[in-house]
Amino acid sequence: MFQGRPLASTGALSDHDRPPIDHARPVPEDNLTRFLHHLEALPAGFTRGTYKGAMYGVSIDKSMAGLTKLFARELGGADIVSFNLYSTPSRRLHLRPCEMSSATVMDFVEGFRPSAPGGCQSTEESERGRA
């Protein structure tokens, strides 16, 4: 389905320290397919969940134009994960991580587990938890 579509990325280094990026180098198909499968399964909007045992708040914006934005913050911690994923008119996918590697955002998306639909307990569940 996504075969032959390169995925460009930036690393966690500053532009001065970063080696040139090979935008034509495709990500191995299995990694890209797995990442896209997990990303597609995440609901748009805000949700809470866990990643490597820590709680995160995750906001995902999926546009009809093919742009997906994700921003995640560790709740009670300092970790942040953020990226944009978009498709060009020539149907090439581009992953643009913000201040981190592509591997970091791919690992996060694959490992993140939403706690409940919408990331919130219902009022009834909250009341039972207090009893």
pLDDT in tens, 84-127: 999 888 888 899 999 999 999 999 999 999 996 644 443 334 34
What gap in Å lies between CA 71 and CA 99, rounded to an integer?
Answer: 12
Domain assignment present for residue 15? The answer is no
**What pTM does this model have?**
0.67
Domain count, the chain: 1
Phi, psi of 111 (to 5 degrees): -100, -15
Instruction: Output 75-83 pairs: Cβ under 8 A, ≥24 positions apart.
Output: 75/48, 79/54, 81/56, 81/105, 81/108
Domain assignment present for residue 70? The answer is yes
What gap in Å lies between CA 88 and CA 56, rounded to an integer?
Answer: 30
Domain assignment present for residue 107? The answer is yes
pLDDT score recorded for residue 29: 61
Domain assignment present for residue 58? The answer is yes
Query: Does the pLDDT at position 40 exceed 80?
Result: yes
First-to-last alpha carbon distance for the chain, in angstroms, is 50
Return the closest-CA partner of residue 72 out of 103, 49, 101. Answer: 49
Domain assignment present for residue 92? The answer is yes
pLDDT score recorded for residue 117: 60
pLDDT score recorded for residue 65: 85
Q: What is the DSSP letter of 27?
A: P
Q: Which residue has the higher pLDDT, 27 or 78?
A: 78
Domain that holds residue 48: 22-125
Domain assignment present for residue 116? The answer is yes
Domain assignment present for residue 115? The answer is yes
Domain assignment present for residue 8? The answer is no
Return the closest-CA partner of residue 119 out of 39, 42, 53, 37. Answer: 42
Helix axes 29-41, 102-111, angle to 10 degrees: 50
What gap in Å lies between CA 47 and CA 30, rounded to an integer?
Answer: 26
